[in-house]
Chain A
Amino acid sequence: MTRIGWKLGILLAVLFLAGCGERLELEQQAFVVAIGLDKGEKGNLIKVTFQISNPQVNTSQAAESQTEPPADIVTITAPDLLAAKELAQSSLSRKITFSHLETIIIGEELAKDELFNNVIGSAIIDPEMRREAMMIISKEPAQDFIHANKPTMETRPHKYYAFMEGNWEHTGYVPLSNLNTFYQRTDDELFLAAYASAQSEPEEHEDDDTYLAGEVPQASGDPVQMIGSAILQRGRMVGTLNGEETRFSLLLRRKNLIESMTASFPDPTKEEYRLSVVFSRTENSKIRIDTDRSPAKIDVTVPLKMRINSNLSLQDFTQNKDQQKKLVKSVEERLEKKSDELIEKLQEEYKGEPFVWYAAARKNFWTMKQFEDYGWDRQFAEADVDINFVIEIESFGEQIRPPTLEKDEG
């Protein structure tokens, strides 16, 4: 016992003398919940906006402080993120920590700049940065975006972003884009990042999902809209996809990322009306790529389940087999046409694909070197792509037939 005793004593003494710089009380830390990155005015400087949650607002009754704002927003101009973090300390009393950072907002201007790849590439070196953080590209400078974003329901900003992210899984308007997937696709492949805007320029479209952020006809409420995606190639933003194109690019992937989504179509029986259906995908898409022939041939089969939940034309689809067939066929054709258009656009404008098809193509090769020599992205630009949607009607909603059917028939 005494033998072990003195050893333990020495050990404890060493520990106490050495100490540990890591220990920090919660109240001494400033928890950044979102950062915004913008291009600085001079040279290679960037503007970093920190949105810091105020723990005294809306957290617990004991700590409530009515008059303070829910978040503190600080913008610092510095050469990189880490330097900005340190420099912000000149005005902030608490130590800035990224441990609860879930959202990174990047201004479009910076995203399109050469500098962006270096900025974001070096950001991940900081171990506090988490690879699952969301990446959002905003149309206006990120600083303005963060300032403009004041949701009424979620006073605390982290809640807003967390709920928004949950929302995307159901709408598919926006791709789920985190840093991990971004670093996977920094080469010729296209990476889709969520696109958002706080500036409203409403337009009215026939199709319900062909908007880009800021264009959705919305009156009152929070000015921030998130729809569509920014295309990044080689770590730089090169273009945008609207909501519909984003949905297609998610649908054409092997693995499903959208739990369900609602879309509207012209009714095949009565062209003037539109029909809203809910799609859900339970199986993976089948992707067959033939790399032996030139140009390469890509066959994609997307199985979808469809529920008809709104029926403006009040046609009776439930009883009439022919009508159903007609509907399925028209939806399939429409989807195929739209996706063909999208692929054509990608092949011509960007010469890359955001569908992770390169992973399926890798299957055809024996070694990595052979695949790299093959040059997938070059091949994709010329490939023949054949897309098939296979649609099953799962349900027709809670009415057996439309309510005014009898009147309509006479």
Chain B
Amino acid sequence: MIRVSDGKIGAREFFAILYAMMAIRITNSTPNLLLDAGLTAAWAMPLLSAAFLFGPLLLLLPLLKKYNAGLLGLLDTLTGNTVGRLITFAMFVAIFSSTSLNSRNYADIVTTMYYSETSVLLILVVLILGASFYIAHRGLEAIGRTALLVVPVFLLTSVLLVIGVAEQLNILYVFPIAGSGPVELVKNSAAYSAFYGDIILVAILYAHVRTHNAFRKAAIWGLWVPAVKMAVFLAVYVMMFDYPAVMNIAFPYHHLTRMAMLGSLANHVEALFLALWFVGAALHFGIYLYLSAYLLGKVVNYKQFEHLILPLAGTAVVLGMIPDNHLQGELWRMLLLEVSSGMFLLLPVLLWTLDRFRKKAKQ
């Protein structure tokens, strides 16, 4: 009936979803990983990582168009049912474990930086089982629309935050320009490219995006805008705290918001940024829960995958409580990142090769 209610999402909503999935990484302990690897040149790493993934993405796009099916459909056609299901399961493991690890990370940030006397469990429960579960439960359309409503606000406040600290920045701190050296940078960028692996993974939603063109546009913007945002913020961290002090700061984003001054009067505005950040976090995990449920539903052939969201949210909370502290989770996170980086980089290549192979076989 009404055009807008066809259950599909448009380019802007899809872009907003991608932004909410990726750009928020700059606020957790991701910068610490990047700064450790890139030193003063850490800002170049998000751009390099995005460039690494851009190739596979460009390989994937024509395939999606050709078969007019989502990533899972492609897997099914090109690799066969069993292998396809295995890869789907691998993707589920990657995304779901990162959901629970990251959610713990976020809860740790809150308890470390703001609410030192609140239990991690409480924050995890209200975040994952409360808001994120609710957002995921409202379905993909609602997620897309909510994201589109809040993402412009996030973009705006990011700019405001940079302006708020601009006076305290020293541009010379980003030198030496190559940081840990070009080879190190490229190597680590490849290893950490899973930060943007989501861009390959969301191809599973291909069938839910209105047109191929919308998907292509949103995917390309959705890869580069978060990458540029991360690059800018990493540079700002270095310019603000200077190397090597910046390496010792656990959550630079939250220190940055503490230092930000909006005018001369409002100089303690971090709680406002905390609120905005948490809206973003709720949305972020809402999307991840939805995607996890979607993938798991495909793996076990359960059509009404929405019912899986609640059990998955509960499991994420339980898994999130396993590490004793966030530094322990960090090691697992690094391992996960490196493994899934390989997967997301190679998967499109694999699919593309199989597609070539099929064509030849036909001839």
Contacts and interface: CB of A to CB of B under 8 A. Distances in A.
In the complex they form, whether A and B have CB atoms below 8 Å apart is answered with yes
Interface of A: 11, 14-15, 18, 20-22, 127-128, 130-132, 180, 183-184, 186, 254-255, 356, 359-360, 362-363, 365-371
Contacts of A370: 176
Contacts of B181: 366-367, 369
Given A132-B259, A184-B245, A359-B172, A369 B180 contact: yes
Given A11-B130, A127-B112, A131-B258, A20 B175 contact: no
Nearest to A358: B172
Contacts of A20: 115, 117-118, 122
B191 to A, nearest CB: 19
B129, B177, B242, B258, most chain A CB atoms within 10 A: B242
Interface string B211-250: 0000000000000000000000000000011110100100
Nearest to A370: B176
A18 B317 CA distance: 15
A135 B221 CA distance: 45
Contacts of A22: 114-118
B133 to A, nearest CB: 8
A300 to B, nearest CB: 14
A132 B240 CA distance: 12
Contacts of A180: 168, 240-241, 259
A132 B258 contact: yes
B60 interface: no
A368 B112 contact: no
B170 A255 contact: yes
Contact of B177 (A18, A356, A359, A366): A366
Contacts of A368: 39-40, 176, 179-180, 243
B126 interface: yes
Nearest to A186: B245
Closest 5 CB pairs of A and B: A21-B117, A359-B172, A362-B175, A184-B242, A365-B176
A127 B108 CA distance: 13
B175 A365 contact: yes
B333 interface: no
Contacts of A362: 40, 172-173, 175-176
Contact of B178 (A128, A360, A366): A366
Interface string B104-136: 000000001111111101100110011000000
Interface residues of B, number: 37
A11, A255, A368, most chain B CB atoms within 10 A: A368
A370 B41 CA distance: 14
B241 A184 contact: yes
Given A367-B179, A368-B180, A359 B173 contact: yes
9 contacts: A18-B125, A20-B118, A22-B117, A180-B259, A356-B172, A362-B173, A362-B175, A363-B176, A363-B177
Given A18-B119, A22-B115, A362-B175, A367 B170 contact: no
B176 A11 contact: no
A41 B337 CA distance: 52
B210 interface: no
Interface string B133-176: 00000000000000000000000000000000000101011011
Contacts of B243: 368
A183 B245 contact: yes
A359 B115 CA distance: 36
Interface string B342-358: 00000000000000000
A234 to B, nearest CB: 14
Given A365-B176, A368-B180, A131 B255 contact: yes
A371 B176 contact: yes
A406 B60 CA distance: 89
A70 to B, nearest CB: 22
B116 to A, nearest CB: 6
Contacts of B177: 363, 366
A368 B38 CA distance: 10
A62 to B, nearest CB: 23
A127 B172 CA distance: 28
Contacts of A132: 258-259, 267
A186 B121 CA distance: 37
Given A15-B126, A132-B258, A368-B39, A363 B178 contact: no
A368 to B, nearest CB: 5
A272 to B, nearest CB: 43
A91 B286 CA distance: 47
Contact of B259 (A21, A131, A183, A255): A131
Nearest to B131: A11
Contacts of B116: 22, 127-128
Nearest to A128: B116
Nearest to B244: A187
B313 to A, nearest CB: 11
Contacts of B176: 362-363, 365-368, 370-371
Given A183-B245, A255-B170, A367 B180 contact: yes
Nearest to A99: B268
A371 B176 CA distance: 8
B129 A254 contact: no
A125 B125 CA distance: 27
A11 B175 CA distance: 50
B172 A360 contact: yes
B86 to A, nearest CB: 34
A18 B115 CA distance: 14
A15, A360, A366, most chain B CB atoms within 10 A: A366
A22 B179 CA distance: 41
Nearest to A11: B130
A216 B269 CA distance: 39
A20, A21, A127, A254, most chain B CB atoms within 10 A: A127
